[in-house]
């Protein structure tokens, strides 16, 4: 069984996809941008966009009955790898001692001229 996960506490999908889907105890979160779900505007700069991405991921995970502590894998998409040190520090702050597997890649362009997008896979009870 596949359950579609949706919450108003994170931006609505900007294409034909779900914020997340849950199958059994696995939650597959679509990539989140630094988009504020209330104002529908992109946060300014890499630091604020990264923090907004994590707020959005937390909201989607919560709607699925999970939290960041359930995340087992992330993929970070960066518009510019020069931002990696800043993102890496904020990422470490958000996850604390929990260290999911991760890949980070630079991409040519992100939707809505975003600077960062993060997707994740979580295992929830």
The number of domains in the chain is 1
73: buried, middle or exposed (CB in 10 Å: 19+, 13-18, 0-12)?
A: middle
Q: Are 123 and 70 in contact (CB under 8 A)?
A: yes
**Residue 79 belongs to domain with CATH number:** 3.30.1330.40
Range of the domain at 40: 2-123
Tens of pLDDT, residues 113-124: 999 999 999 999
Global pTM value: 0.97
Tens of pLDDT, residues 23-68: 999 999 999 999 999 999 999 999 999 999 999 999 999 999 999 9
Q: Outline where DSSP puts E strands in the chain.
A: 2-5, 20-23, 26-32, 71-78, 101-106, 116-123
């Amino acid at each position: 069984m596949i359950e579609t996960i949706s919450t108003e506490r994170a931006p609505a999908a900007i294409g034909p996809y779900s914020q997340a889907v849950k199958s059994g105890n696995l939650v597959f979160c679509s990539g989140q941008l630094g988009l504020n779900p209330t104002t529908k505007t992109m946060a300014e700069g890499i630091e604020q966009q990264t923090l907004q991405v994590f707020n959005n991921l937390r909201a989607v995970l919560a709607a699925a009955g999970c939290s960041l502590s359930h995340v087992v894998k992330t993929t970070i998409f960066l518009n510019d790898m020069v931002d990696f040190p800043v993102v890496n520090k904020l990422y470490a702050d958000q996850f604390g001692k929990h260290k999911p597997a991760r890949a980070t890649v630079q991409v040519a362009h992100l939707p809505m001229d975003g600077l960062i997008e993060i997707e994740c896979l979580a295992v929830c009870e």
